[in-house]
Structure 1
C-alpha cells in the first residue's frame, strides 16, 4: 500500500502483523522495573480494545464496510502487539482496580447508551471514532518511542517493529479522520466535545489514575515536549485547534482532559443534543 495514495484496506487485511514471540530479540533482557511496568501499561492498552469496539459496533461507524474490515484486522494486530509487549516486559503485578457501582453500570449499559447517541448523531460519530484512535495511536507511539530510547538494543529493535505496525494503522485513522472532520461541521463540534471528555490514552479510565501517572513519569519524567508535539498535530486536524488534550493529560494523568463543554465548540456551530455522551 502506498504511503501517499489512499490506504489499501484490502492489502492490509491480507497481510496483518500476527504473533511475534518467536522472532523477538529482547525477551529475557534485563529492564529497569519502572520501564517494564510502563511497557506492561501499554500492553494493557493494546489488549483492551474490546470495550471500545463494543461501543463502536452499535453505531453508524459499523455500517461502513471499509472501516469495519479495517477495525477487525486492527484489533487482531493490537492483541499481538500487546502479546509481544507482555513477552518483553515479563509478568508483573496488576494494578488494584476498584470499579464502583456507577462504573460497572457504565460498562454494562455503555453500548446501549452509545446506540441511542448514534441515533442522534449518525455518521458524525464516525469522525469521533477515527479521530480518537488517531490521537490514541500518537500517544502510545510516543510512549513506545521513549521506551525504545531507554531499552537495551534487542528490546529497542522489537519496539521499533511494533511502532512500524502502529504507524501503518495510523495512516488509515489519519486519512479517515481528516476526511470525516473536513466534510462535516457537526462532526467537528462533536469531536471537540467528546475528545475533551475522554481519559487518555484510551482505556486509562479502567485502572487507577496512579498507574497512568507512573507510566508517564517513568518514560518522560518532567519532559512535556512530547505532549506539546502531539497537541500540535491535533491542532492541524480540521476544527480541533486549541484542545490541548495531551498537555491536560500530563497535568492530570488518568483523568478526563476537560469536563466542561468547550467554548470553542459552541463558536463553531450550535450545540448538538448529545447530553448523554458515552465514553
Structure 2
C-alpha cells in the first residue's frame, strides 16, 4: 500500500487544489436528475468534514504536526471539490433528517467521548482515523468513477480531475494507515471494531438512509461488483480481512450497524482478553 518514499506533505501543503469553477468544462451540461442528485450527495460528503475533524482534533492526532498539516490542506481541498460538484450538478434540496434524542446526544457530546477514547487508546486511535479516511476515500472514488462513466464528456473530464485529487490524498492515508496497522496490534483490533460500527460513507448517518440508498441506486443499480472490489482493498490492509464493510453498506445503505462481536482477529477464543490500551509501538 505504501510507496517507496514517504508522502511529501510539505509539497502537498504548498500546492493544494483550490477553487475549480473557472476551469470546469461541464457546468451547465444536462444531467439525468438521479445522477445530479447522486453528485450532490457526494458533494455533501466532501463538504461535511467539519464534524469528523472536531472528533479527530481532540485526540492525540492533533499533536502530530505532519498529520495536522496534511488534514488542514485535505479539508481545504475537500471543500473545493464539493464546490466544484455543486457547480456541475447545480444546487438542490438538502434532505432533512429527524434525529432522535440518542443521535442528538452523540452529535453534541461526540468530541468529549472521543477525547475519553483517545485517552484510553493513545496513538492506536490515530491509525484508526487514517484508516477510516482511506476507506471512505475508496468508497467516494468508486461513486465518482461510476458517475464519470454515466456523465457527458465534459462533466466526465471534470470528475476525472476531482478523482485525481482524491487519489493524491489517498496516498497519504494509505501510507499512514498501513504503517499504523502493520506495527500496532492495538490499532488493528480497534480498527476492526470501529470501522465495522460506522455508517458508510462517512457522514451518511447525518442524512436519511433513503438518501444514501438513492445515490447508490442511481450510480450502481443492482451491480454490487464495485462493493466487492472495495472490500478486497480493505481485506489487503493489515488485520482487516473479512469485514465486508461495503457489501454491508449496499445491503443496508445509510443504516447504523448493530453491535456485533468479531472473531478472526488473531486471538484464540480461549485466550485471555486482549488489552487495547495506550499504544506506543510504530
Whether TM-score is above 0.5 comes out as: yes
> Paired residue for 2:99?
99
Does structure 2 retain, via aligned residues, the 8 Å contact 1:193–1:265?
A: no
Aligned pairs for 1:43-82 (under 5 A) are: 43-82=43-82
Query: Post-superposition, which runs of at least 4 consecutive aligned residues in structure 1 deviate over 6 A?
Result: none
> Paired residue for 1:195?
195
Q: Distance in 1 between matches of 2:194 and 2:31?
A: 37
Task: Give the Å deviation of 1:141.
Answer: 0.2
> Paired residue for 2:246?
246
> Paired residue for 1:33?
33
> Paired residue for 2:219?
219
Task: Give the Å deviation of 1:61.
Answer: 1.1
Moved more, 248-257 or 72-81: 248-257
Does structure 1 retain, via aligned residues, the 8 Å contact 2:137–2:166?
A: yes
Question: Structure 1 123/218 Cα, relative in aligned 2: closer, same or farther at 3 Å?
Answer: same
Aligned pairs for 1:1-279 (under 5 A) are: 4-257=4-257, 259-265=259-265, 267=267, 270-272=273-275
Q: Please state whether the residue corresponding to 1:81 is helix, strand or coil.
A: helix
Question: Structure 1 47/209 Cα, relative in aligned 2: closer, same or farther at 3 Å?
Answer: same
Q: Distance in 2 between matches of 1:264 and 1:126?
A: 23
CA deviation vs aligned residue, 1:179-217 (integer Å, no higher than 9, x gap):
000010011000000000000000000000000000000
> RMSD in angstroms over aligned alpha carbons?
1.6
Does structure 2 retain, via aligned residues, the 8 Å contact 1:45–1:203?
A: yes
Q: Distance in 1 between matches of 2:123 and 2:218?
A: 39
Task: Give the Å deviation of 1:257.
Answer: 4.6
Q: Please state whether the residue corresponding to 1:253 is helix, strand or coil.
A: coil
Normalising by structure 2, we get a TM-score of 0.94
State how many pairs are aligned: 273
Q: Distance in 2 between matches of 1:59 and 1:270?
A: 25
Question: Structure 1 266/255 Cα, relative in aligned 2: closer, same or farther at 3 Å?
Answer: farther
Q: Distance in 1 between matches of 2:275 and 2:250?
A: 29
Normalising by structure 1, we get a TM-score of 0.94
Task: Give the Å deviation of 1:259.
Answer: 2.4
Does structure 2 retain, via aligned residues, the 8 Å contact 1:196–1:258?
A: no
> Paired residue for 1:277?
none
Q: Distance in 1 between matches of 2:14 and 2:47?
A: 21
